[in-house]
Structure 1
Amino acid sequence: LGSQSQLEFLPERHTDFIFSTVGEEFGFVGSFTVLVCYAILILIALRIAALSHSHFGRIAAAGMTAFFALFVLINGAMVMGLAPVVGVPMPLLSYGGSSMMTVMIGFGLIMSVHVHRYAELSKGNGLI
């Protein structure tokens, strides 16, 4: 087990500094895997935003993707000491109900954009 998290050198190891704990416990491979999973999620969400045929869907999906990506970037920079500690949790990893609920609502919005991506085109053809 890692000495930094077990000896309580990290201020909030289960919320704000969960990425440090993951890096300490699983090393470079674990940290890289987490970052690759985040990159895949962001790329999929950006693709959904790009393929949407309605302007609202495109802007909503891109905005939620930017929100998610900024949370990942700010928390990563905060953990590495490149940014001040501001209390931004790492999405889908940090302990906290309101952050998790906000991210899940955002993913629900992105999935709704994906499901209804052809609705705008179908209205003009009289299919709906």
Structure 2
Amino acid sequence: MSADTRDVVEELLRRMAKGDHPRTAELFAEPVDWQLAWPAEGHPAVPWIRPRSSRAEVADHFRSLEAHHVPELNGTSVTRILVDGAHAVVLGEIAQTVRAGGTAYTSPFALHLTVEDGLITRYHIYEDSLTVARALGGLQP
């Protein structure tokens, strides 16, 4: 199962990097256990932060991220993928530039995924939400 989990995670990362939102969403189960390390109500400067459970909502999440950032300036990197059975943890650094205003920011991240029957059933991401909100709100991180 670990090899299958790693394969799905690596394919997720490839599709995300290509900006292929519909194909990225195809990797998710319905419903998906979706969580971002933000307050439940999100933040007005960060509209993509909200509950998700369907493939259409997953695709919308990634489209919204892209709409608010300059994809050509994305320097997000993955430093490690740890796999334990159906669970995977992806560690890295988000490096984005906000489309409105051009503010660049970086944040470490950890992504906890669970893969069952070849589909992602859990997507929990942890990042420096204060840095992201400040950058999107027009303040220097």
Higher strand share: 2
Which entry has the higher C-alpha Rg, 1 or 2? 1
Q: So what's the TM-score if we normalise by structure 1? A: 0.31
Higher helix share: 1
